[in-house]
Chain A
Amino acid sequence: MKLMPCPINGIRPIQEFAYGGPFRPMPNPSESSDKEWADYVFHRAGEPGIKREWWYHIASGTWFIAERDTLKDEIVRTYLYSEEDRSL
């Protein structure tokens, strides 16, 4: 069974979680060009590596950030979102 550490509830089976997509800052829509906006909306860093992602613990309704190795299928660490993450 694949396990994931929830920052609030500890180690739980991955079936209790939902993937929320990559963590990425949104450019200001009123200041970005059509091309920059298309880049934000559509384009992704698709190559394997350690990625920062949103994950959701369904049972407790907790959104948090996970750093995950998408090549090895390993979770590096998980933590709750804080204001410092915004600038990363």
Chain B
Amino acid sequence: MPYRLLKFALNGKHTEPRMFRAPEKLKSHYDVVIIGAGGHGLAAAYYLARDHGIRDVAVLEQSYIGSGGTGRNTAIVRSNYLTPEGVKFYDESVRLFQDLSADLDINLFYSERGHFTLAHTDATLRTMRWRAEVNKHLGVESELVGPEFIHEQCPHLDLSCGGHAPILGALFHPPGAIARHDAVAWGYGRGADQRGVEIHQQTQVTGIQVKSGEVVAVETNQGLVETSRVLSAVAGYTPRITQLLGIRTPLVVHPLQACVTEPLKPWLNNIIVSASLHLYVSQSSRGELVMGASLDPYELHSTRSTLDFVEGLAGHLLELFPFLSDVKVLRQWAGLSDMTPDFSPIMGKTEVKGFYLDSGWGTWGFKATPVCGKTMSYTIAHDKEHELIWPFRLSRFDEYEQVGEKGAASVGH
């Protein structure tokens, strides 16, 4: 037994510092209440405290920190989207991610891998070219590459795809990266906590009180909290919160499933995505292949797993990498995706004064964590949408000004 462990056992006290304080009771008033202690909510709390000097903030979490989408995504970070609005927004996020480990003083295992989106048809190739040109115009490293280049970078890939869907080319995005998603939430949480923000786990919001169109209080299972500003950062649970206020949104929740294989020696450096095969795969720093597919086909608020999913995914994976046939799936899980009809988020102010939405995170939420924290904290502090998120306001639907984001992971081309 290591000496340190023995000493710890005999001492009986927690000698290691805790990541977070555990505040006992909710106060009766906060300047800002944030619903949801995932990456987005904690990032917003962190930047509110650090950049805007608003420290009297409570983050309420019905379960534990990072228990929702934050810990269930496949941890890919990229900015090679299709719409100029999307590219600018996600690129700011990638830039923030690149310095985030140092900022938060926690190792996020941020690892730039190069991101390939494979094209199996002429139509996909056309969309890829479009994306590459929009990306380059906005200063994002992104280009269309041919099969030779793909083979050079990823020699294990079967370019003929078993003969049925040969790879014609790919969109290559060198800054595409993966990160340790839990650590992002923990890092932001600790940073916010050190600046005076209270994180209340096991605290569920049961109602939001509104007087003459303004938020006045939040009801929780731990008591009533007065506040004039509330941020909902609960992704797949957003419709349950907006229902409390009677706010209509286009959000529909579908499960998104993912799985990992047993750990292998490092062999896959890149992130490989194929929209046509409904597959994305990368190798984590632990050696596991992390894989995801497209959305489940019907609305559901459950994180159950299905055999259909893992069978389909394994089939497509073998088309790309036939030698993986004897590799075992270690575990599978699902997360809730709050989908919007235009595959862009819904962020900013709402018809209720003091109620802010950070939602519509579908299949693209993790990569946006830092920029959401930045822009939502700005929006709350100034009661005015940050310019980067103005195109994503809820009222865009009433105004018929959607942002058609065909670069999202769940869109087939």
Binding site for B on A (CB under 8 A): 1-2, 15, 18-19, 22, 34-35, 38-39, 42-48, 51, 53, 70-73
- A70 contacts B299, C-beta separation under 8 Å: yes
Question: Closest CB of chain A to B18's CB: distance in Å?
Answer: 35
User: CA–CA, A34 to B400, complex, Å?
Assistant: 9
Contacts of B299 in A (CB 8 A): 19, 22, 51, 53, 70
- A46 contacts B239, C-beta separation under 8 Å: yes
User: What 0/1 readout, one digit per residue, does chain B (296-319) give for beta carbons within 8 Å of chain A?
Assistant: 011111101011100000000000
Question: Closest CB of chain B to A41's CB: distance in Å?
Answer: 8
- A47 contacts B341, C-beta separation under 8 Å: no
Contacts of B301 in A (CB 8 A): 48, 70-71
Jot down 21 A-B pairs with beta carbons below 8 A, ordered by A: A15-B308, A19-B299, A22-B299, A34-B398, A34-B400, A39-B398, A42-B250, A42-B341, A42-B397, A46-B238, A46-B239, A46-B242, A46-B249, A47-B240, A47-B243, A48-B239, A48-B253, A48-B301, A53-B299, A70-B301, A73-B302
- B298 contacts A19, C-beta separation under 8 Å: yes
- A39 contacts B300, C-beta separation under 8 Å: no
- B251 contacts A38, C-beta separation under 8 Å: no
Question: Closest CB of chain A to B294's CB: distance in Å?
Answer: 14
Contacts of A15 in B (CB 8 A): 308
Highest count of chain A CB atoms <10 Å: which of B238, B298, B399: B298
Contacts of A1 in B (CB 8 A): 307
Kindly identify which residue among B240, B251, B297 contacts A18, using a CB–CB cutoff of 8 Å: B297
- A43 contacts B338, C-beta separation under 8 Å: no
User: CA–CA, A38 to B341, complex, Å?
Assistant: 12
User: CA–CA, A3 to B197, complex, Å?
Assistant: 48
- A71 contacts B298, C-beta separation under 8 Å: no
Contacts of A71 in B (CB 8 A): 301-302
Contacts of B238 in A (CB 8 A): 46
Contacts of B302 in A (CB 8 A): 71-73
Question: Closest CB of chain A to B351's CB: distance in Å?
Answer: 12
User: CA–CA, A1 to B307, complex, Å?
Assistant: 8
